[in-house]
Amino acid sequence: MPAKFSTDQKLLDGLTARAMPVDQFSIVAAKEGIRGASKTVLNESFRDVRPLKNDVAEKLLALWQEIDAMCREFEPFALSLKDGAQVHGWLVARRAGKVFHIVIDGLSPNGGLDE
């Protein structure tokens, strides 16, 4: 486990709390052009094998905070963060002030995923 108050641990705690898979967060990071944030790199960081580089960690934390803020806007409903490409699309639409289709987790028989 990363150090208790490290950026790596904050990311892991956030992903866990919002049930976002690491591989899907890495997809969002890649679409945002954040290099050095592959699924493998993130998993190594979260297992405390190798911490994230500072600049990468800062960019990922800012990205996570944006995703988390978007999720808070829809509370008490929980957004399904199980599709990184879709989450990135939501972020792009949100930044542009456009209306976008969301997927609420747990309200459909298939866990909130579109059919």
Q: Say if 45 falls within a structural domain.
A: yes
The letter for the amino acid at 30 is A
What would the pLDDT profile of 19-65 be if each residue is shown by its tens digit?
999 999 999 999 999 999 999 999 999 998 999 999 999 999 999 99
What is the average per-residue pLDDT within 4-26? Answer: 92
Structural domain including 43 reads 7-96
Q: Say if 65 falls within a structural domain.
A: yes
Count of domains forming the chain: 1
Q: Say if 2 falls within a structural domain.
A: no
pLDDT exceeds cutoff 80 at 3: no
The phi and psi torsions of 85 (rounded to 5 degrees) equal -65, -40
What would the pLDDT profile of 55-78 be if each residue is shown by its tens digit?
999 999 999 999 999 999 988 888
Yes or no: say if 56 and 9 are a contact pair by the CB < 8 Å rule.
Answer: no
User: Hey, is 79 helix, strand or coil?
Assistant: strand
For residue 57 the two structure tokens come to 């960690």
